[in-house]
Chains A and B, each alone.
Chain A
Amino acid sequence: MDGGFWGGYVWPGIIIILQIIAIIVPLIVAVAYLTYAERKVLGAMQLRQGPMVVGPWGLLQPIADGIKMIGKETIIPSGANRVVFMIAPMLTFLLSLVAWAVIPFDYGLVLADINVGILYLFAISSLGVYGIIMAGWASNSKYAFLGAMRSAAQMVSYEVSIGFVIITVLICVGSLNLTDIVMAQEGLWFAIPLFPMFVVFFISALAETNRSPFDLPEGESEITGGFMVEYSSMTYALFFLGEYANMILMSGMTTILFLGGWLPPFDFAPFTWIPGPIWFALKVAVLLFIFIWVRGTMPRFRYDQLMRLGWKIFLPFSLIWVVLTAGAVVAFDWLPN
């Protein structure tokens, strides 16, 4: 190692920690204001005002909610499996944060530029189900258990089609690196040639984050909050933060795979003045608006309809598109590299 102990280990370590803080702090703020945005948008859709009391236009509402959460008592049910019960929310929150390590916000603006970036994201998002299953099992409550069972089946089903959609994009890129995936979309975003896959991916992302209309694991009108029915205070807050951070993550993933990441929509003057991270944030914000919009308009799927959509429609459809894309790429000699 050059530079000895300090130059070789300590300074790089400090720099990495600062970089991590520079990603996580804006993320937490974004999560807090996403909850505010959700309440405002839903309010507007239902001809209400949403939060208006705390601060101007209710802008301090998320902070007030956070303080209220911390101030409450954490209750562990007497029949619960204490260790697993406490690990589950931490795991959910942790997994929603670690995935951000590979997300590129601009060319070279990424914490870890690994060459299997998209697989890393896929792996981390497939682990999200454990927080929910562990919570449902450890709570020792029938509603929580029902929620966990639904979630396990749902997330495994939709992961398959997400995998095929990712493969379709990778065929067009020829690399698993997220920066390469974005750079391959210069001039033409994949949302245009692969539009059906974009739709399938977005709907699967809704299912993967347990958002309406796929919110069966929570299903507050059927199973009273599902897997998190026994959670209170900070343990509940961690699930809540994890869910919203996952929403932002899935929107970021959609942006990188289909909407050209940090690239401006047109490669000329007024658009190129705006820096890349702002384009990235704008695209993520539009997708998040659609997340909330869907919640405001769609009724919840019934369980058998959910399974039918995942296995009988999305899976064959995305499989056909994989074959079709591969065929087109080979036939017209569009192979990357």
Chain B
Amino acid sequence: MIIETIAFYLFAFITIASAVMVISSKNPVHSVLFLILAFFNSAGLFILMGAEFLAMILIVVYVGAVAVLFLFVVMMLDVNFAELRAGFLQYLPIGGLIGLILLIELIFILSAWVLAPEAETVARAPVPGGDISNTDALGRLIYTDYAYLFQAAGLILLVAMIGAIVLTLRERVGVRKQKIADQIARKREEAVAVRKVGTGEGI
């Protein structure tokens, strides 16, 4: 047990510390790197809870794909720090308001957890019976009991994806693209011509 406890406090401490660094570090690339560290340590926390499938999916999806693209974009941005700080006071009220709302929500969640722990068991989906791994259990819940909700979530993601493509798609004229089908379909007669060239004449 002591190893688990030490591991828990280690992961939890690094998660919180790197989360603090995400919002306090000056360089946006460092922020993203700390965000990745936070993701990674929360995956460690999942493993300690026995949810190894969720831990791996967290790393594959968030660290392996989402954060890579995030880092990609942040690295390409030409961020002007002086300009960023100039608007600080102007945006302080709205930022503070959002922070306050988040804080109140967190307090609600935490107080529900402390005051009425039985509420959680009521809201929780029943775990499929039998001696099955949690990958199996998740599969059964998602694909049998909540198949429509799962499909709906997929549709929402699809709409977001199509939206992003539509926003960035532009037709440009005069672009030379390699058309591999045309290259393959080209016959010898279209590409090569045999000419008789007399000496000293040229074509």
Contact = CB atoms under 8 A, between A and B. Distances in A.
Interface of A: 1, 9, 84, 114-116, 119-120, 122-123, 126-127, 129-130, 133-134, 137, 145, 148-149, 152-153, 155-156, 159, 163, 176, 304-305, 308
Contacts of A84: 29-30, 33
Given A115-B133, A126-B63, A134-B33, A152 B68 contact: yes
A159 B63 contact: no
B68 A156 contact: yes
A130 B36 CA distance: 10
Contact of B56 (A120, A149, A156): A120
B68 A129 contact: yes
A216 to B, nearest CB: 15
A192 to B, nearest CB: 27
B130 to A, nearest CB: 12
Given A9-B3, A116-B135, A176-B135, A152 B72 contact: yes
Contacts of A133: 68, 71-72, 75
B5 to A, nearest CB: 13
Contacts of A148: 75
8 contacts: A84-B30, A115-B52, A122-B56, A123-B59, A126-B63, A127-B59, A133-B75, A304-B177
Nearest to B1: A1
Nearest to B58: A123
B149 interface: no
B64 interface: yes
B127 to A, nearest CB: 17
Give the interface size bracket for B toward A.
20 to 34
Interface string B61-95: 00111001101100110000000000000000000
Contact of A119 (B3, B53, B65, B71): B53
B178 A119 contact: no
B135 A115 contact: yes
B102 interface: no
B60 interface: yes
A148 B177 CA distance: 25
B57 interface: yes
A123 B60 contact: yes
Nearest to A119: B56
A266 to B, nearest CB: 33
Interface in B130-184: 133, 135, 177-178, 180
Contacts of B36: 130
A305 B1 CA distance: 53
Contacts of B76: 149
A335 to B, nearest CB: 13
Contacts of B68: 129-130, 133, 152, 155-156
A9 B63 CA distance: 32
A305 B183 CA distance: 14
A159 B177 CA distance: 25
A116 B56 contact: yes
Contacts of B60: 119, 122-123, 126, 163
Contacts of A123: 56, 59-60, 63-64
Contact of A159 (B56, B64, B75): B64
A123 B67 CA distance: 13
A159 B33 contact: no
Nearest to A83: B30
Nearest to B36: A130
Contacts of A115: 52, 133, 135
B6 to A, nearest CB: 11
Nearest to B56: A119
Interface in B1-20: 1, 3
A39 B30 CA distance: 39
Contacts of B57: 119
B43 to A, nearest CB: 8
Q: Residue among A130, A149, A153 with the most chain B CB within 10 A? A: A130
